[in-house]
């Protein structure tokens, strides 16, 4: 089992974070960001052509992280590859010893920097999880036998803030049934709403480690932008007010993130911190949240 899998199995509160690959082949800043928190988190997500903006792939970046001794989580979206290519990429990952795979739908291509691209969406996120699970059982999607069987630790995502929430939970349950072993959530800012969501998940009999998504809130402008443009993310007024009134934005960002982590901690198995370029703050957030800096 992957290190992430073992950490979750141990019952410890797990922290993961994230890096985004660059546009162009200069990996320095991406790997430097990972350096800030690489040894302090259980695993690092690598986004897959995030926001449909063309850039270095998830797999190449995962390999680079692994070479440096970090535990990568390879994100895979369904937008850019058909079932042949997706399965092949899963095998590629396994060849390089990358086991943690987070399956997502992917933002629509028209929202990215190549809006004229043809979207693929041959599989959806549930089917991708099921397909990866199938590979682990030695069979590809067409039922053909594999010579050499990969091991994966599969994850999915859920957005607790979306209406109708029942529809979110129906899909979440399908992901679990398809083979997901952990779930990452969209960014959480309101811990009481998150708790209500978790209660609903439990009442449906779904039992899976959930990592609450934590976005580092950088500015008032960012909060307003997310409220208007990012589905399922809502930054409440009191946080916007706090950001507005502070002189030290980074200190405030750390304080808010750490507070949310403390508030959601009783209801989840870990947090996934999305630093969006402020990776140097991650260790301080972990510290202020009262969590251990040695994940394993």
Partner 1 sequence: MIVAKRKPLDEIKEMLKPYNKILVLGCGSCVAVCMAGGEKEAGLLSTELQMAFEMDKTLPPSGGTPPGSAKQIDTITILRQCDREYIDEVKDKLVQYDAILSVACGVGVQFTAEVLNGEKVLLPGLNTTFLGATKEPGMWVERCLACGDCILDETGGVCPITMCSKSLMNGPCGGHEKGKCEVDRNRDCGWVLIYERLKKLGKLELIKDIKLPKNYGAVKRPDKIVHEAYQVVGKEEVKK
Check residue 135 for interaction with partner 1 (CB under 8 A).
no
**One of 159, 209, 222, 291 touching partner 1 (CB under 8 A):** 159
- Element of type H or E holding 250: helix 249-264
Which of 98, 253, 165, 227 has the alpha carbon at shortest distance from 185?
165
What x/- string results for residues 33 through 72 when contact with partner 1 is judged by CB under 8 A? ----------------------------------------
DSSP secondary structure code for residue 145 in this structure: B
Number of residues near partner 1 (by CB under 8 A): 39
Check residue 105 for interaction with partner 1 (CB under 8 A).
yes
Check residue 232 for interaction with partner 1 (CB under 8 A).
yes
Per-residue exposure over 17-31, b if at least 16 CB sit within 10 Å of its own CB, e if not: bbbbbeeeeebeebb
Residues 6+ apart with CB under 8 A from 150: 90, 91, 93, 94, 135, 136
Comparison of 124 and 263: residue with beta carbon closer to partner 1 = 124
**One of 85, 88, 110, 238 touching partner 1 (CB under 8 A):** 110
Check residue 87 for interaction with partner 1 (CB under 8 A).
no
Check residue 130 for interaction with partner 1 (CB under 8 A).
yes
**One of 164, 192, 205, 266 touching partner 1 (CB under 8 A):** 164
Which of 81, 80, 63 has the alpha carbon at shortest distance from 72?
63
- Element of type H or E holding 75: strand 72-77
Which of 138, 258, 243, 106 has the alpha carbon at shortest distance from 191?
258
Check residue 162 for interaction with partner 1 (CB under 8 A).
yes
176-195 residues in contact with partner 1 (CB under 8 A) are 177-178, 186
Q: Give the C-alpha separation, 261 to 271, whole Å.
A: 7
Check residue 79 for interaction with partner 1 (CB under 8 A).
yes
**One of 1, 84, 95, 170 touching partner 1 (CB under 8 A):** 170
Q: Give the C-alpha separation, 151 to 142, whole Å.
A: 19
List residues near partner 1 by CB under 8 A: 78-79, 83, 104-108, 110-111, 119, 121-127, 130-131, 141, 157-159, 162-164, 166-168, 170-171, 173-174, 177-178, 186, 231-232
């Amino acid at each position: 089992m992957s290190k992430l899998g073992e950490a979750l199995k141990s019952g410890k509160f797990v922290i993961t974070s994230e890096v985004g690959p660059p546009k162009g082949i200069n990996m320095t800043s991406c790997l430097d960001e990972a350096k800030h928190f690489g040894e302090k988190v259980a695993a690092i997500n690598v986004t897959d052509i995030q926001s449909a903006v063309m850039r270095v792939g998830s797999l190449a970046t995962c390999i680079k992280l692994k070479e440096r001794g970090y535990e990568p989580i390879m994100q895979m979206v369904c937008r850019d590859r058909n079932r042949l290519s997706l399965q092949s990429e899963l095998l590629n990952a396994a060849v390089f010893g990358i086991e943690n795979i987070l399956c997502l739908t992917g933002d629509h291509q028209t929202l990215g920097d190549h809006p004229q691209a043809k979207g693929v969406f041959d599989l959806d996120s549930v089917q991708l999880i099921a397909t990866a699970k199938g590979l682990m059982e030695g069979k590809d999607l067409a039922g053909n036998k594999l010579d050499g069987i990969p091991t994966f630790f599969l994850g999915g995502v859920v957005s607790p803030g979306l209406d109708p929430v029942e529809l979110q939970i129906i899909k979440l349950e399908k992901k679990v049934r398809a083979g997901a072993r952990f779930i990452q959530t969209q960014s959480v800012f309101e811990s009481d709403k998150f708790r209500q969501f978790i209660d609903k998940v439990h009442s449906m009999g779904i039992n899976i480690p959930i990592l609450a998504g934590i976005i580092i809130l950088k500015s008032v402008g960012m909060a307003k932008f997310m409220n208007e443009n990012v589905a399922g993310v809502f930054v409440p007024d009191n946080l916007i007010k706090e950001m507005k009134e502070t002189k030290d934005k980074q200190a405030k960002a750390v304080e808010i993130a750490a507070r949310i982590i403390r508030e959601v901690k009783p209801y989840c198995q870990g947090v996934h911190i999305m630093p969006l370029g402020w990776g140097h703050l991650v260790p301080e957030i972990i510290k202020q949240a009262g969590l251990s800096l040695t994940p394993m």
